[in-house]
Amino acid sequence: MADADGEAIYAASCANCHGLDGTGLAPSLVAFEEELPDFSDCDFAAREPDADWIAVAHEGGPVRGFSEMMPAFRGALTEEQLGRVMGYIRTLCTDQNWPRGELNLPRALLTEKAYPEDEWVVEVGVDLESEGSAMGAYVYEQRFGPRSQIEVVIPYGWRRGGGDEDNHDDHDDAHSTEGASHGIGDLVLAVKHSLYHDLGAGTIVSLMGEVILPTGDQDAGLGAPGTEVEAFLSLGQILPSDAFLQAQAGAAVPLYDGAASEGFGRILVGRTWTEGKWGRAWSPMLEVQAKRDLEGGGGTRIDLVPQVQFSLNTRQHVLANVGLLIPTGAEAGERPPLRLLAYLLLDWFDGGFFEGW
Ligand code: HEC
């Protein structure tokens, strides 16, 4: 089979379970209970990168937390041959509108990625220098259609305004116990749409619009006095040798008086390393963020955010990222505090939180 093309290898090695058309044989025709994936379903297939599928075919299902009913082909087929099989499997989804999973680059702490996602993310940010304030956010993202996604962000903030350091006796919806306040922040509703994607060039570009509603308690420092809208472009670019670049640029415009519109840009480079050949993925990144008032002067504020994203489970759909936000160059006395930033992410399309460990 050394020179056979991908389709011939697939027909000989894979089709007896997955079916020649890739839709998977009916349960009555196979001797196991696991449901077979449908390689012709673009919504499922396009988002899975070749490298993950080659890992599964080479090492068997358990390498990504799947069933051992998916056998390992490492004794029978080389990675190169499996690459050819992927070439065939990729012809089974015929709608090129779906951006490929390779373009789904590691999620940074601040830069919004261009790839539309099905994700739950819990984010936290903790001031390391000031009196003490922390922000958490619950992010829900859901794809619709080949290239679009909606997003809801529910932030939650804690702030210690001096006073009794030991007073943790907070109750649920009140905001203030002596000197400390906490509560819901400003709710964000967003829509993302991918304008352009090309796997060959390794590029994806998306447009995103957000409405930030004044649901947070303004007096407690947890919200703005009115609604704000934001629009930006995001870019994802695959670079050689597992490196990548992502960027985002846009503007935030308050729809109330007394606040200036702000322009912002973010850019990051990173690279992914894998433990062993098929193991845990580590993606260190360096992110730079710049912000500037668009009306009436003021300098540009620049933050550096070194960080590392890593996969937590075998299926690699539960991920974490930890980094530091380091403000630079701001006028003396006004420099915002150093912040610890982190998130925990579940790519829920690939399984529940407790699956695939
Ligand atoms: C003996 C039956 C059988 C054969 C032969 C087989 N598979 Fe599978 N395969 C399965 C089963 C069952 C699953 C689903 C496992 C699960 O969901 O836990 C699976 C899952 C997969 C997946 C994972 C898809 C995902 O969910 O991300 C890939 C990729 C795959 N197979 C590729 C191949 C390739 C390539 C071949 C041939 C070289 C092949 N399989 C041959 C049974 C088989």
- Output the pLDDT for position 173: 44
Query: Are 109 and 73 part of one and the same domain?
Result: no
Q: Count of domains in the chain?
A: 2
Taking a C-beta distance cutoff of 8 angstroms, is the pair 120, 140 a contact?
Answer: yes
- Low pLDDT (below 50) residues in the chain: 162-175
CA of 22 to the centre of ligand 1 (A): 10
56 CB under 6 A from ligand 1? yes
Ligand 1 binding pocket mutation candidate from 5, 10, 13, 17 (most atoms within 8 A of CB): 17
- Output the pLDDT for position 177: 52
pLDDT tens by residue, 264-280: 999 999 999 999 888 99
36 CB under 6 A from ligand 1? yes
Residue owning tokens 């090129």: 96
CA of 279 to the centre of ligand 1 (A): 19
46 CB under 6 A from ligand 1? no
Ligand 1 binding pocket mutation candidate from 13, 59, 69, 70 (most atoms within 8 A of CB): 70
88 CB under 6 A from ligand 1? no
Query: Are 23 and 138 part of one and the same domain?
Result: no
Query: Are 118 and 59 part of one and the same domain?
Result: no
CA of 283 to the centre of ligand 1 (A): 27
- Output the pLDDT for position 101: 96
DSSP H or E stretch at residue 66: none
Q: 327 lies in which domain range?
A: 101-350
Last residue of a domain, one of 55, 89, 123: 89
- Per the domain annotation, does 356 fall within a domain? no
- Per the domain annotation, does 229 fall within a domain? yes
Taking a C-beta distance cutoff of 8 angstroms, is the pair 9, 77 a contact?
Answer: yes
316 CB under 6 A from ligand 1? no
Last residue of a domain, one of 89, 122, 139: 89
Residue 2 CB-density burial (10 A; 0-12 exposed, 13-18 middle, 19+ buried): exposed
Query: Are 107 and 82 part of one and the same domain?
Result: no
167 CB under 6 A from ligand 1? no
Residue nearest to atom 17 of ligand 1 (CA): 66
Query: Are 247 and 153 part of one and the same domain?
Result: yes
Q: Please give the full DSSP string across 340-353, using - where no structure is assigned.
A: EEEEEEE-GGG--T
- Per the domain annotation, does 244 fall within a domain? yes
Q: Return mean pLDDT, the chain.
A: 91
Q: For strand 188-198 and strand 203-212, is the pairing parallel, antiparallel, or unpaired?
A: antiparallel
Query: Are 133 and 59 part of one and the same domain?
Result: no
Strands (E), the chain: 119-127, 133-144, 148-160, 176-177, 180-184, 188-198, 203-212, 228-238, 243-254, 262-271, 273-274, 281-293, 301-311, 318-328, 339-346
- Per the domain annotation, does 1 fall within a domain? no
Q: Which long-range contacts (CB under 8 A, 24 or more apart) does 161-168 make?
A: 161/131, 161/221, 162/131
85 CB under 6 A from ligand 1? yes
- Per the domain annotation, does 109 fall within a domain? yes
Query: Are 185 and 300 part of one and the same domain?
Result: yes
Query: Are 30 and 145 part of one and the same domain?
Result: no
Query: Are 10 and 61 part of one and the same domain?
Result: yes
CA of 318 to the centre of ligand 1 (A): 21
- Per the domain annotation, does 355 fall within a domain? no
Distance of alpha carbon 324 from alpha carbon 189, whole angstroms: 26
- Per the domain annotation, does 95 fall within a domain? no
Last residue of a domain, one of 89, 124, 150: 89
Residue nearest to atom 19 of ligand 1 (CA): 70
For residues 299-332, one letter each, b for 16 or more C-beta atoms within 10 angstroms of the residue's C-beta and e for the rest, the string is eebbbebebebbbbbbbbbbbebebbbebeeeee
The pair of three-digit structure tokens given for residue 23, joined into one six-digit string: 């839709």
Query: Are 163 and 267 part of one and the same domain?
Result: yes
- In this prediction the pTM is 0.90
16 CB under 6 A from ligand 1? yes
- Per the domain annotation, does 73 fall within a domain? yes
- Output the pLDDT for position 218: 86
Residue 73 CB-density burial (10 A; 0-12 exposed, 13-18 middle, 19+ buried): buried
- Output the pLDDT for position 160: 76
Query: Are 63 and 194 part of one and the same domain?
Result: no
Query: Are 133 and 176 part of one and the same domain?
Result: yes
Q: Maximum distance among all alpha carbons in the chain?
A: 75
pLDDT tens by residue, 212-233: 999 998 888 889 999 999 999 9
18 CB under 6 A from ligand 1? yes
